[in-house]
Structure 1
Amino acid sequence: MNAAVKGTPKEPGSGDARKDRWSAHRAARRTEFVRAALRVLEQQGPDVTMDAVAAEAGVTKPVLYRYFADKTALVAALGEYGTEMLFDRLMPAIAADLPALSRVRGAVGAYFEVVGENPNLYWLIARHTAGEVPLESDPFQRNKELIADALTALFGDYLRHYGLDSGGAEPWAHGITGLVQSTAEWWLHRRSMSRVHVVEYTTRLIYAALAGVLPERVLDEELELGSSRFAQSVQDSHRANHAHNPPEGTRPAPSLKLVSGE
Structure 2
Amino acid sequence: MTRRVKSDGRAARWDGHREQRREEFVAAAVRAIDQIGPDASIAEIAAEAGVSKPVIYRYFADKSELLAAIGEWGAQQIADAILPVIAADLPPRDRVTAGVEAYFRTIEEHKHVFLLVVRHHDDPHGTVAGGKAMIAAGFSRILGDGLRELGLDAGGAEPWAHGLVGLGMTTGEWWLERGTMSREAMVRYTSEFIWHAFNGIAGEYGAPIAEVAPLRAVPPQEEQA
TM-score, structure 1 length as denominator? Answer: 0.72
2:141 aligned to which of 144, 150, 153? 153
Is 1:187 the equivalent of 2:175?
Answer: yes
Show structure 1 runs of 5+ residues with no match.
Answer: 1-13, 232-254, 258-262
Match of 1:114 in 2: 106
Deviation per residue, 1:194-229 (Å, 9 max, x gap): 1011101111111111221212257632455537xx
1:130 aligned to which of 121, 131, 141? 121
Asked if the contact 1:152–1:173 (Cα under 8 Å) also holds between the matched residues in 2, the reply is yes
Tell me how far apart the structure 2 counterparts of residues 150 and 218 of structure 1 sit (CA, whole Å). 23
Match of 1:199 in 2: 187
Higher share in helix: 2
Tell me how far apart the structure 2 counterparts of residues 163 and 176 of structure 1 sit (CA, whole Å). 22
Question: What is the total number of aligned residue pairs between the two structures?
Answer: 214
Q: Which structure's CA Rg is the greater one?
A: 2
Tell me how far apart the structure 2 counterparts of residues 171 and 153 of structure 1 sit (CA, whole Å). 12
Is 1:29 the equivalent of 2:21?
Answer: yes
- What is the identity, as a one-letter code, of the residue corresponding to 1:103? R
Kindly tell me: are residues 176 and 160 of structure 1, through their superposed partners in 2, closer, same or farther at Cα, counting changes over 3 Å?
A: same
CA-CA distance at 1:162 after TM superposition: 4.0
Tell me how far apart the structure 1 counterparts of residues 114 and 70 of structure 2 sit (CA, whole Å). 10
Match of 1:17 in 2: 9
Structural mapping, 1:66-145, within 5 Å: 66-127=58-119, 129-133=120-124, 137-145=125-133
Deviation per residue, 1:133-177 (Å, 9 max, x gap): 1xxx52423333333333333333333344433333333333333
Show structure 2 runs of 5+ residues with no match.
Answer: 1-5
Kindly tell me: are residues 104 and 68 of structure 1, through their superposed partners in 2, closer, same or farther at Cα, counting changes over 3 Å?
A: same
Identity of aligned residues (%): 44
Kindly tell me: are residues 154 and 32 of structure 1, through their superposed partners in 2, closer, same or farther at Cα, counting changes over 3 Å?
A: closer
Stretch moving more, 159-168 or 179-188: 159-168
- Could you list the runs of 4 or more consecutive aligned residues of structure 1 that deviate by over 4 angstroms after TM superposition? 222-225
Is 1:57 the equivalent of 2:45?
Answer: no
TM-score, structure 2 length as denominator? Answer: 0.82
